[in-house]
Amino acid sequence: MKILLIEDDLELGNGVRIALEDQGLQVTWVRRLGDALHAIDTQACDLVLLDLGLPDGDGLALLARLRRDRLPMPVLILTARDALEDRLAGLDSGADDYLVKPFALAELLSRVRALARRSFGLVNDTIEIRQLALHEATMRVTVDERAVELSRSEFELLCLLMKRADRVLTRRVLEEQVLPGGLDNESNVLDVHMSNLRRKIGPGYIRTVRGVGYVIDRAAPARGGA
Amino acid sequence: MTPAALWRRLRGSLVGRLVLAQMLTVLLLWSAAMAYFVWDTARYDEIFEPGHMGPRADMILALVDNLADRPEQLQEVLRKLDVFQRRENHEQDDLALRMSMNVWLGNRLLYASPGSPGVVPATQQRRLEKLVIDGLPWRTYTQQSAQSQARVTLIRSGHAVSILFALGERGILILPLLISLPFLVLPAWWSVRLALRPWRRFSQEIETRSPGDLAPLRFGSAYRELRPVADAVNTLLARVAASLARERSFIADAAHELRTPLAAMRINIEALQAHRGDARDAELLDGLVRSGERASRLVAQLLGLMRSDSGRTQAARLSLDGLVQDRLAALSGLAMQRGVELELACAERCEIEAEREGLTSLVDNLVENAIKYSPAGSTVSVRVGADASLVVEDAGPGIAADWRERVFDRFFRVPDQAQPGSGLGLAIVKSVADRHGATVELADGAGGAGGSRGPGGPEARGLRVTVRWNLAERAGFEPAGGY
């Protein structure tokens, strides 16, 4: 996968480039808006990492240009501005995600993966976490190569948790998934689904954060996740 | 109260000064009126005018002429007449006011009023004369009988001061003033207070202002006299607000600028971690990541504080339990790292009037603190009550009662702590809570005070922070002032 990195800071740009290349990604790194526009015109790329404050202009201009030309590649904004209005401005101008500096490498990689999945569409939509694999198009889930039968709701919950692995999904978000429109806080439908899901895929994948939500961690839990 | 103390008291008060000035004005007007009256009396010459005095002199001369052959009776009549004249205008015989007379027959003095200035050297007939006898001014009127050698001189004091004293003695002028002055003080005091009421309301507006409110004063400018003061205060407020805004934007800019090098440092270390050699290198790199995280957190807190202080954000109705759930989800990674369990209990849906970013940083700081100070293996429990309360409880070392006021100060840290920190977390919590009209309360956690929970050791009292919003006061959100 080819990534276009637009970042004017020398150390940060170089660090991100090395970290991404370590993950086997191809990175083109430019430091100016002009170079970035040139790179977009001349090279194919699958994902753009965009810093907003560039020495020769605003990164949002590039974003506008991309969207005007209907170029499909997803854009992840990297910025120091984290106020709500800044985030909204970024997302409104067509960015796909927004990451505030300083960010952890794991966070950056997780976002890049998620965007790449979206970008590649159905071409390669198998998500794998440890021994668990999920193929979205065919709704096929395997654990240790063994197929697991899931109900529609269970599949959707698992899909959501795997797509956003390492991030806790709140009960509210998950409830909307299984009970669209029906926001009944007292109901334990979600817990029933989760307990069934756990039984089917085995322990150690889904971790509960009591009262908050559920999460699937990429790394195996050090101590037994509930 | 001694007169000196009373004077100081009056001088020290605007009301006192105004009342005093009014009283002085009354006294001055009174004195002027009195002076005019005295002056007017002194020149009140009609009684001495020939037209007025003529008949009187005629009468006396007629008596003298007709009783010339009976001297004893004449003396008797003149004496009686003199007594009558003395008491004619006043009840008491008064040298200053009375009319005296000298009656002559040729060169022989027939009668002289007792106490009169003796022989008056009359020079002119039938007209008023001003004479000075023994240094005192007198006015005289002399008339000669047409039939005989008889001659009469009417004498009256021409001394204005003596008239004044004479009048004063009777209290004609002084007494009403003395009586009415106290009655004048009361309405004067009342009217002055009435006139000064806007001033008191003006100072009340300043007094009741919250310390962060730098909006211009509303009240003073309705009155011409207060406008210069209000304008001066408003100019000062504007300058303070502008300098605060400059300071805030400076800190915010500096914090923003710090983020890029911090990000660079972090990403380089993490890239290095992927190739790390031995355990010693790994430990050193972990240390670098942790310091980087601390610096990042401090920068984020500074930005949060500056944003919260600037108060530009808008309040809206939002779900407290939903927001807390979202924030706990976001912070569960940190909890996981620290081996701390997060737990949320929501009674039911709870909506409050709040601004999202402020509330987010309040929840983040409380929960981050709780996670940070909790020993590994313990639980941080968060509860959202239906009465719009948020309780965050940990099993950490807690905060001794002595420090519970001071921990809200910016950059204050409880001494001898194992955990690194900026000392800004609770300051942010307090700042946000204040702007929402919410209260923050610190108490021992359930794990403390001999509690059974928590592996934090015997020292661990735990900490329970309770933030309570005021549901009754829907309009409780008070944005910080600013231009």
Do B266 and B306 sit in the same domain of this protein? yes
Residue A221 within any structural domain of the chain: no
Q: Which residues of A touch B268 (CB under 8 A)?
A: 11, 14-15, 18
Residue B252 within any structural domain of the chain: yes
Residue B431 within any structural domain of the chain: yes
Per-residue pLDDT of chain B (483 residues; tens, 9 = 90+): 677 887 777 777 878 888 888 888 888 988 888 778 767 666 555 555 566 778 888 888 888 888 888 888 888 888 888 888 877 666 566 666 677 888 888 888 888 887 776 666 666 777 777 777 777 777 788 888 888 888 888 887 766 555 655 566 555 666 777 787 778 888 888 888 888 888 888 888 888 887 677 888 877 667 888 888 888 888 998 998 888 888 888 888 888 888 889 999 999 998 888 876 788 888 888 888 888 888 888 888 888 888 777 766 678 888 898 899 999 998 988 898 889 999 999 877 788 888 888 888 899 999 999 998 999 999 999 999 888 899 999 988 888 888 888 888 888 888 877 777 778 889 889 988 988 889 999 998 875 444 444 444 555 788 999 999 887 654 444 444 433
- pTM across the whole model: 0.61
The phi, psi pair for B103, rounded to 5°, reads: -115, 130
Do A28 and A81 sit in the same domain of this protein? yes
Do B438 and B351 sit in the same domain of this protein? yes
Q: How many domains are contained in chain B?
A: 4
* Cis-peptide into A180, omega within 30 deg: no
Residue A161 within any structural domain of the chain: yes
Chain A contact for B297, CB < 8 A?
no
Q: Which residues of B touch A104 (CB under 8 A)?
A: 266, 270
Q: Which residues of B touch A55 (CB under 8 A)?
A: none
Supply the CATH number for residue B221's domain.
Answer: 1.10.287
Q: For helices A152-163 and A189-201, what crossing angle results, to 10°?
A: 80
Do A74 and A26 sit in the same domain of this protein? yes
Do B36 and B52 sit in the same domain of this protein? no
Chain A contact for B391, CB < 8 A?
no
Cβ B286 vs Cβ A38: under 8 Å: no
Do B179 and B84 sit in the same domain of this protein? no
Q: How many domains are contained in chain A?
A: 2
Do B117 and B232 sit in the same domain of this protein? no
Task: Report CA B136 to chain centroid distance, whole Å.
Answer: 59
Do B259 and B154 sit in the same domain of this protein? no
Going by their DSSP bridges, the two strands B389-394 and B463-468 should be labelled as antiparallel
Residue A80 and residue A205: Cα distance in Å, rounded? 34
Verify whether the Cβ–Cβ distance B343 to A18 is below 8 Å.
no
Do A116 and A134 sit in the same domain of this protein? no
Q: Which residues of A touch B332 (CB under 8 A)?
A: 168, 209, 212, 215
- Best A108, A168, A184 member to test B by mutation, with max B CBs in 10 Å, is A168
Residue A223 within any structural domain of the chain: no
Which are the contacts of A159, defined by CB distance < 8 A and separation ≥ 6?
A: A127, A134, A136
Facing residue for B263 by CB, picked from A12, A22, A170:
A12
Q: How far apart are the first and last CA of chain B?
A: 50
Edge-to-edge strands of the sheet including A2-6? Answer: A26-30, A2-6, A47-51, A75-79, A97-100
Per-residue b or e along B113-126, where b marks 16 or more CB atoms closer than 10 Å to that residue's CB:
beebbeebebeeee
Chain A contact for B338, CB < 8 A?
no
Residue B144 and residue B63: Cα distance in Å, rounded? 13
Cβ B475 vs Cβ B207: under 8 Å: no
Range of the domain at A157: 126-216
Cβ B380 vs Cβ B393: under 8 Å: yes
Q: How is B53-71 classified by DSSP, letter by letter?
A: HHHHHHHHHHHHHHTTT-H
Range of the domain at B177: 3-42+173-191
Residue B207 within any structural domain of the chain: no
Chain A contact for B464, CB < 8 A?
no
Residue B354 and residue B101: Cα distance in Å, rounded? 102
| Interface ipTM | 0.73
The nearest alpha carbon in chain A to B268 belongs to A15
- CA-closest candidate to residue B262, choices B273, B274, B250, B270: B270
What ranges make up the beta strands (E) of B250-394? Answer: 316-319, 341-346, 351-354, 379-385, 389-394
Residue B203 within any structural domain of the chain: no
Residue A189 within any structural domain of the chain: yes
Other beta carbons less than 10 A from residue B149's beta carbon? 14
Residue A100 and residue A109: Cα distance in Å, rounded? 14
Of the three residues A90, A120, A150, the one that is the final residue of a domain is A120
